[in-house]
Amino acid sequence: MSLILIAEQVLNGLQFGVMLFLMAAGLTLIFGVMGLINLAHGSLYMVGAFAAAAVAGATGSFLLALAAALAAAALAGVLIEILVIRRLYRAAHLDQVLATFALILIFSEGTRWVFGSFPLFLDVPDALSGPITLPGGIQYPVYRLTLIGIGLAVALGLWWLTARTRIGIQIRAGENDREMIAALGVDISRLYTIVFALGAALAGLAGALVGAIQSVQVGMGEPVLILAFVVIVIGGIGSIKGAFIGALLVGLTDTLGGIFLPELFKLFMPADAASQTGSALASMAIYILMSLVLIWRPSGLFGARA
C-alpha cells in the first residue's frame, strides 16, 4: 500500500467529511436555536440535488444548477418552516419526529411523482473534470478537490457569520435564551425562518455538489441525514465547531476504515475472510466511534453538559 494511495484516501475522507459538515451544520444550528429535531433535512438535500439536475439538464450550466439548488432548498425550507415546522418548536420531540417523518414521506413520494423512479444524472462541469497532479505526484480529481475547498469556505463563512455578524449574535443569543432575545426586540419568528432557510440551503448545496459524483435519486437524503446525526452526536448538539470536527472524524473514519480494515485483516486471516470481516467491520466503524465518544462524553465533544 503506497503513500499515494493513503494520501488519496485521506483526501476522499476529507471530501466526504466536509459534505457531511454542510448537512450537520444546518441540523445543529436548527437544533441549537429552535430546539427542533428535523428528520426532513435529508429531503432538503434531495430537493437541492434534483433542482440542480433539472436545471443543469435544461441549461447545461453547472453554476446555474448550483444556484437553483440553493434557491430550491431554501424555498422548500421556508415553505415547510411556515406551514409545519413553526408549530413544532414547543412541541414534544415525538411530535417533531413524526411530523418531519411525515414530511419525508411527502417529499420523497412527491419527487417520485414529478421525476419518476429512475435516477437522474448531474455531470461534473467540464472545467472541473479530470485529475490534477498534486505535490508528491498524487493524481486527484479537480472536482473533489473543489468540494473540499467549498466545504472549508462554508465552514469559515459560518464561523464568521456566527462570531462576527449581527444575525450571528442574535443566533447565539437565541440559543441561550429565547425570551431574552424576544425582549431585545428581535423578530424571533423571522430569525427562525432565516436560520431554517440557511440550514436548508446548505443541505441543498451539499445535495447538488454530491449529486454530481453520485446519482440523484429519491431516498438519497436519509442515509446522509443519519450520518449527519452521528456527526452531531459526536460533535455535540448546537456546536458548529463540533459539527466540523465530528464531520471530518466521521468522513475519515468511514473512508479509511473501508480501505484499510480489510487490508489489516489480511495480515492474519485468509484474504477471502479478511475482506468480508474487514468490510463488515468497516461498515460499523463510525458507529463504534460514536459509541466510544458517548461512553467518554455523553453530550459530545463540544456539547454543553447535559
Partner 1 sequence: MIGERSITLVVLGLLLAVVAWALVVDEPFTITLATRAAILALAAVGLNIALGIGGMVSLGHAVFFGLGGYAMGILAYHAQSFSALDLGLVSVAGTKSMPVIWLVALGVSALAALLIGLLSLRTSGVYFIMITLAFGQMFYYFAISWSAYGGEDGLSIYVRNGFPGLNTLVPIQFFGICFALLCAALFLNARLRASPFGLALNAARQVPARIETVGLTPFRLKLVAFVISGAITGLAGALFADLNRFVSPTMFSWQLSGELIVLIVIGGVGRLIGPVIGACLFVALEHWLGGLTEFWHVYLGAILLGIVLFARGGIVGLLTGREGPHV
Binding site for partner 1 (CB under 8 A): 31, 37, 39, 84, 87, 91-95, 97-99, 101-106, 108-110, 112-113, 222-223, 226-227, 229-230, 232-233, 237, 276, 279-280, 282-284, 287, 290-291, 294-295, 298-300, 306
| C-beta of residue 26 within 8 angstroms of C-beta of residue 194 | no
| C-alpha cell at position 221 | 437524503
Is 171 exposed, middle or buried (CB count within 10 Å of its CB: 0-12, 13-18, 19+)? Answer: buried
146 φ/ψ angles, rounded to the nearest 5 degrees: -60, -40
| C-alpha cell at position 109 | 413520494
Q: Quote the least distance from Cβ 279 to partner 1, whole Å.
A: 5
Which residue number, 117 or 129, has a Cβ lying nearer to partner 1? 117
Which residue number, 16 or 140, has a Cβ lying nearer to partner 1? 16
| C-alpha cell at position 267 | 495480515
Closest CA to 65 of 211, 224, 221, 217: 211
Which residue number, 6 or 97, has a Cβ lying nearer to partner 1? 97
d(CA 178, CA 184): 10
Q: Quote the least distance from Cβ 259 to partner 1, whole Å.
A: 14
CB environment 180-197: b (16+ within 10 A), e (fewer):
ebeeeebebeebbbbbbb
Residues near 197 by Cβ (< 8 Å), separated by ≥ 6? 74, 77, 78, 81
Q: Quote the least distance from Cβ 94 to partner 1, whole Å.
A: 5
Closest CA to 249 of 201, 197, 188, 302: 302
Q: Where are the alpha helices (DSSP H) in 116-187?
A: 142-164, 166-176, 178-183
Q: Quote the least distance from Cβ 262 to partner 1, whole Å.
A: 11
Which residue number, 141 or 217, has a Cβ lying nearer to partner 1? 217
Q: Quote the least distance from Cβ 261 to partner 1, whole Å.
A: 11
Q: Quote the least distance from Cβ 65 to partner 1, whole Å.
A: 26
Closest CA to 232 of 15, 10, 38, 14: 38
Which residue number, 42 or 211, has a Cβ lying nearer to partner 1? 42
| C-beta of residue 49 within 8 angstroms of C-beta of residue 122 | yes
Which residue number, 64 or 98, has a Cβ lying nearer to partner 1? 98
Q: Quote the least distance from Cβ 135 to partner 1, whole Å.
A: 35
Q: Quote the least distance from Cβ 49 to partner 1, whole Å.
A: 19
Closest CA to 174 of 155, 193, 159, 157: 193
Which residue number, 93 or 190, has a Cβ lying nearer to partner 1? 93
Which residue number, 125 or 238, has a Cβ lying nearer to partner 1? 238
